[in-house]
Amino acid sequence: MELKCVGYLVGESFCDSFQFITNEELAPKRLEYVIIKGIASSNEEVEVLAQVESLKAFSDVLSEDQEYDATTKLLELNYKIPLKLLASARVLGYLDEDDNILIPRSVSLPGSPVYLAPDELLQRFFTHKKQNAIEIGTLLYRPNVKVTLDPNGLRRHLAIIAQTGAGKSYLTGLLLEKLVKLGATILVFDPNSDYVLLKRKRNNLREFSSIAHNVTIYRVPGVQGRFNEETIGGVEPYSIRFSELENEQIVEILGISEYSNIRDSVEKAIEELRKSGIDFTPKELYEKLETMAEIEGENEEDEVINFEDYERKILKKVEKKNKKRYPEETIIGARKALKYVKWIKDYPIWGFRDIKLEKILKPAHISVIDLAGIEKNLQDLVVSKLLNDIWTKAKSEGLPYPLFIVLEEAHNLVPKEKSEKLRSAKIINSIAAEGRKFKVFLIVVTQRPYKISSNTLSQCGSQIIMRLTNPTDQTAVKEASEALSENLFNDLPGLNIGEAIILGKLTKIPVMVKVGERETAEGGFDVDLDEEFQRALNNLDKTIFSDLQDILPDFGSEI
């Protein structure tokens, strides 16, 4: 393998860094890979890989002390002014016979040649030999060198971090594609409908993707979100069995934070409903409170549509016939409680069955819970209840297969401040601390890492970081990642869309990649304002015509 020399070591060299002189024709780009000859611990000569961190061009003739007029005269002379190009590089290590990366303990001497690293060597560093390695993209500037991830790197949880518009949802979708094809079981909590199009092809929403049969999209009935069912390719209803919730969960949903006669009346109503054997929803709770408050029900003459409705109406009539007088305090509390129950009683999330865990925990399957359009406290309920059921099963019975839980916009589910108020945060922090023991792994996705509980973010042993310009977010990432060096930290603002730094157990050493192409459609794309403006103008004449018809109905046909 013939190596291309691109310069020579000059000045001071260290075990972990060096600088080399080069020229305009040979100079490698910043972040390119080069090699120098080094000595291994076995005293054998090895190829030591390094990455170019900076390039500096200067001239002794055109120095910064040179005046403008003198510079102009020099440039007008008909001779080539000598320039110097000085590059600095950071040592990454060398490979032993088992392809483990080691750091050299010897230093290369000034005058030693520096070579451009060949693709074949880079593949040994960044392309895993494992059959189930996850192909995530290619090296920056080296499209022929695939970057693959070690699946075992996910055992310590993963954080995917980037500012809005950098491509984190696209990258996450690509990762999910790869994982499900390996047989992974995945649960996604999707607050913005970013992953509801996984059944569809990215370049043609009318065609199904190759993983369509491995994807189930769950949605609350009657809540459309950002995409309709036809575009998605089919959805399944997601409901919560209200009667199975604990009293504490119910009063939290209702927003009754303090112990009072309101809370006592609600818990009294729940107790009596449970004793009656009715599989109740908030609608039945509302009607029970009406009875306790001595208010006649509004829906007594509603049409009976099934046996359960008929049974409830019979029981209600019997209750009214044998009506008992409640204490005055209970009556007052029940009347006040009605307004708390009214706002949720007709919400379509309440049903008579919970989602079956067996459907979520099956192998090679992605379950996406579309939370778009749902109130924040109900989002917390959906996430906390499902995670609690899974976590209980994982600790008591064990899960049949490893489960990867994707938390999109994780800073809203497990916030740094006031996380004790969210039931989901408590469970997520528990999974972050102990999940690996029970085959439950987190993929935390966020654009605001400084807002996430450090109990969760610090447990993520691997990170994929895309463009990040906010200093507070950068600092939070640096504090949470042991592998983020000062130089990589400084590169975060300069990353382009679709470029990422991968750290931790997923790779042998930190690596900067160009994210690969995904097959499935992305729900988190930005709106194209050019197209939207043009569509608005195209529809303008139709709108004017419609308005004129409303104003002048008698002349509509003439217009």
Tokens 């960044």 correspond to: 126
Average pLDDT estimate for 190-219: 95
Q: Residue 311's pLDDT band (boundaries 50, 70, 90)?
A: low
pLDDT at res. 302? 47
Residue type, 57: A
- The domain boundary residue, chosen from 75, 101, 117: 117
Average pLDDT estimate for 137-146: 93
Among 104-108, 109-113, 217-221, the range with the most confident prediction by mean pLDDT is: 109-113
For 142, residues 6+ apart whose C-beta sits below 8 A from its C-beta are 33, 119, 122
Kindly state whether residue 14 falls inside one of the protein's structural domains: yes
CATH number of residue 192's parent domain? 3.40.50.300
Same domain, 362 and 502: yes
Phi/psi at 192 (5° precision): -125, 20
Average pLDDT estimate for 474-484: 80
Same domain, 201 and 341: no
Q: What is the pTM of this model?
A: 0.84
pLDDT at res. 171? 96
For 402, residues 6+ apart whose C-beta sits below 8 A from its C-beta are 184, 185, 439, 440, 441
Q: To 5 degrees, how large is the angle CA 517–CA 405–CA 226?
A: 65
CA–CA gap between residue 412 and residue 371 (Å, rounded): 13
Residue type, 381: L
User: In this prediction, what percent of the chain has a pLDDT beyond 70?
Assistant: 90
Kindly state whether residue 538 falls inside one of the protein's structural domains: no
Residue 246 pLDDT greater than 70, yes or no: yes
CA–CA gap between residue 310 and residue 312 (Å, rounded): 5
3-state secondary structure of 107: coil
Residue 308 pLDDT greater than 70, yes or no: no
Q: Residue 559's pLDDT band (boundaries 50, 70, 90)?
A: very low
- Range name among 238-252, 360-374, 442-456 with the lowest pLDDT average: 238-252
Kindly state whether residue 420 falls inside one of the protein's structural domains: yes
Kindly state whether residue 364 falls inside one of the protein's structural domains: yes
Same domain, 197 and 297: no
Q: Which of 523, 457, 507 is nearest to 193 (CA)?
A: 523
Kindly state whether residue 90 falls inside one of the protein's structural domains: yes
Same domain, 324 and 217: no
pLDDT at res. 304? 46
Distance of CA 292 to the CA centre of its chain: 46
More confident: 308 or 50: 50
Kindly state whether residue 280 falls inside one of the protein's structural domains: yes
Same domain, 62 and 77: yes
Q: Residue 146's pLDDT band (boundaries 50, 70, 90)?
A: very high
Same domain, 510 and 479: yes
Average pLDDT estimate for 491-508: 90
Same domain, 336 and 379: no
Residue 295 pLDDT greater than 50, yes or no: yes
Same domain, 304 and 366: no
Residue 157 pLDDT greater than 50, yes or no: yes
| Beta carbons of 341 and 267 less than 8 angstroms apart | no
Which pair of tokens denotes residue 154? Answer: 């996910």
Provide the CB-side half-sphere exposure for 494 (13 A, CA).
8
pLDDT at res. 475? 86
Residue 301 pLDDT greater than 60, yes or no: no
What is the tens place of the pLDDT at every residue in 366-424?
999 999 888 887 888 899 989 999 999 999 999 999 999 999 999 999 998 877 778 89
pLDDT at res. 316? 58
pLDDT at res. 43? 85
What is the tens place of the pLDDT at every residue in 334-348?
999 999 999 888 888
Tokens 């890979």 correspond to: 33
- The domain boundary residue, chosen from 480, 500, 515: 515
CA–CA gap between residue 135 and residue 150 (Å, rounded): 9
CA–CA gap between residue 413 and residue 454 (Å, rounded): 13
CA–CA gap between residue 466 and residue 170 (Å, rounded): 11
pLDDT at res. 129? 83
Distance of CA 185 to the CA centre of its chain: 16
Same domain, 259 and 325: yes
Kindly state whether residue 544 falls inside one of the protein's structural domains: no
Distance of CA 222 to the CA centre of its chain: 26
pLDDT at res. 527? 60
Please give the sequence-ordered ranges of beta strands (E in DSSP) within 16-149, or none if there are none.
Answer: 17-22, 33-39, 45-58, 84-95, 101-102, 113-116, 134-139, 142-149
Tokens 């409170």 correspond to: 289
- CA dihedral sign, ordered 519, 226, 169, 459: negative
pLDDT at res. 344? 85
Q: How many domains does the chain have?
A: 3
Distances (CA, A) of 80 to 23, 63, 299, 371: 14, 15, 94, 65
- Range name among 37-41, 310-314, 485-489 with the lowest pLDDT average: 310-314
pLDDT at res. 535? 75
**Exposed, middle or buried, 101 (CB in 10 Å: 0-12/13-18/19+)?**
middle
Which pair of tokens denotes residue 115? Answer: 């070579």
Among 228-232, 320-324, 375-379, the range with the most confident prediction by mean pLDDT is: 228-232
pLDDT at res. 349? 87
Same domain, 449 and 492: yes
Secondary structure element (H or E) that encloses residue 431, with its range: helix 423-434
Provide the CB-side half-sphere exposure for 418 (13 A, CA).
2
| Beta carbons of 186 and 528 less than 8 angstroms apart | no
CA–CA gap between residue 214 and residue 362 (Å, rounded): 10
CA–CA gap between residue 237 and residue 220 (Å, rounded): 6
Same domain, 345 and 360: no
What is the tens place of the pLDDT at every residue in 7-33?
999 999 999 999 999 999 999 999 999
Average pLDDT estimate for 86-95: 95
Kindly state whether residue 123 falls inside one of the protein's structural domains: no
For residue 216, list its beta bridge partners: 367
Residue type, 519: E
CA–CA gap between residue 328 and residue 356 (Å, rounded): 43
- The domain boundary residue, chosen from 334, 351, 368: 351
CA–CA gap between residue 134 and residue 283 (Å, rounded): 49
Same domain, 31 and 46: yes
Domain residue limits at 309:
242-351
